[in-house]
Amino acid sequence: METVVIAGLGLIGGSLARNIQMHKQVHLIGVDQRESTLEYALKHEIIDEASSSFQEAAHKADIIILAAPVSKSVELLQELDNMKLEKDVLVTDVSSVKGPIFQQAASLQSDKVFFVGGHPMAGSHKHGIEASKAHLFENAIYVLTPVQRAKESDIKRVENLLDGTKSTFITLSAEEHDEMTGVVSHFPHLIASALVQQAKKWEAKHSFLPKLAAGGFRDITRIASSNPGMWQDIFFQNKEKMGILLDDWIEEMQAFRKLLAEDQGQQIHTYLEEAKQYRDGLEPRKKGAIPGYYDLYVDITDRPGALQKVLTIVADAGLSIVNIHILELREGLTGVLRLSFSEQKIQLKAKGVLEVFGYEVKIED
């Protein structure tokens, strides 16, 4: 039986551990610096064996998944390179930035260590093993960044180990990956936090301001509630791309400010119109590295059990929901429930069945 070591049993490492445990016959060793995390993982049978020593676990490993913060995973790969291993080990990681770990992997000295980088493009604003879920990566894009000397069979072994995640594997260079995730993940995170900082600043003048923060503000700033330690690490690890995007952004905002000052209404309209068209075109599976879903918007009332009722109707029809989001539900008013499905076929069936029960259902927001 193969031995798989997961180093860093947080949200992502824990979710992969749960998934592998569910789908594969392997001996799973979890490594973490936090004793309480290892105890939790053993207690919930997420792993078969716990170790607080990466070195000790690595000697037993056939495959290692590095799932610590990006900078720590780079250090662990370096540590591995300095170990005197008896058998070959295939290493993958989950880091949100690929450049630094790729560089480390490309300069590996050990002839026992083989590396295929990885990044599951799904997550949550939560962290830690308690938030981990076996199905976290379902329908997500899983980027692989193999180093030049990686064999096709190494890539296949990583894909095979992780095929229970039901994600879609794509291969990119580390450079392409960091540029694209910079644009659609890392930089937007900074903007979300900056918007919240701006609101916080203005609250000093208007104490009522937070109460006016409506659905739009909440939607666009959702990711500002993520793990600050992890994001600080990501920004530094992708420093060069973040710098380029920041310059780009500042220039664009200055251009916008000029349009506003010069009363260029038509140009501002065009700017907004182009953005709307591009955003509307980011339809499920049509575009973008981050997969979209087939969404339904269901009008529900703020009554106890309203949500439960909708979910029961969909479940009774044998249709599985991949994501649920309540967009806005204010006391006494109706609100919108967004249900996401993996296929259009399922989305349309759910729409039909909910309409039979008298719900107002829309495909687009």
Ligand X SMILES: O=C(O)C(=O)Cc1ccc(O)cc1
Ligand Y SMILES: NC(=O)C1=CN([C@@H]2O[C@H](COP(=O)(O)OP(=O)(O)OC[C@H]3O[C@@H](n4cnc5c(N)ncnc54)[C@H](O)[C@@H]3O)[C@@H](O)[C@H]2O)C=CC1
Contact residues toward ligand Y (CB under 6 A) are 7-13, 31-34, 37, 54, 67-70, 72-73, 94-96, 119-120, 123-124, 127-128, 227, 230, 234
Instruction: Find the shortest distance in angstroms from Cβ 190 to ligand Y.
Output: 15
Nearer to ligand X, 2 or 138 (CB): 138
Distance, in Å, from the CA atom of 144 to the CA atom of 303, rounded to the nearest integer, reads 45
Do 317 and 350 form a contact (C-beta atoms < 8 A)? yes
> Minimal distance in Å, beta carbon 14 to ligand X?
15
Q: Where are the alpha helices (DSSP H) in 221-294?
A: 228-237, 239-261, 265-281
Residue 284 binds: one of ligand Y, ligand X, none (C-beta under 5 to 8 A by kind): none
Q: 3-class SS at 323? A: strand
Q: Which amino acid is at 177?
A: H
Say which DSSP state 182 is in. I
Q: 178-181: which pairs have CB atoms within 8 A and are 24 or more residues apart?
A: 178/97, 178/98, 178/99, 178/238, 178/241, 179/241, 180/289, 181/96, 181/97, 181/119, 181/121, 181/238, 181/289
Contact of residue 223 among ligand X, ligand Y, none (CB under 5-8 Å per partner type): ligand X
Write out the two tokens for 84.
């005197």
**Which of ligand X, ligand Y, none has residue 128 at its interface (CB below 5 to 8 Å by kind)?**
ligand Y
CB of 193 to ligand X, least distance (A): 13
Of 186 and 351, which has the nearer Cβ to ligand Y?
186
7 binds, among ligand X, ligand Y, none (CB under 5 to 8 A by kind): ligand Y
Partner whose footprint covers residue 34, from ligand X, ligand Y, none (CB < 5 to 8 Å by kind): ligand Y
The 3-state secondary structure of 50-97, one letter per residue:
EECCHHHHHHHCCEEEECCCHHHHHHHHHHHHCCCCCCCEEEEECCCC
- Minimum distance of ligand X from residue 123's CB (angstroms): 3
Residue 337's nearest CA partner among 304, 305, 303, 295 is 295
Residue 127 interacts with, from ligand X, ligand Y, none (CB under 5-8 Å by kind): ligand Y
- Compute the least distance from the CB of residue 149 to ligand Y, in Å: 23
Question: Which residue's CB is nearer to ligand X, number 52 or number 124?
Answer: 124
Write down the least CB distance from residue 226 to ligand X, Å.
7
- Interface positions with ligand X (CB under 6 A): 96, 121-125, 185, 223
Residues in the chain: 365
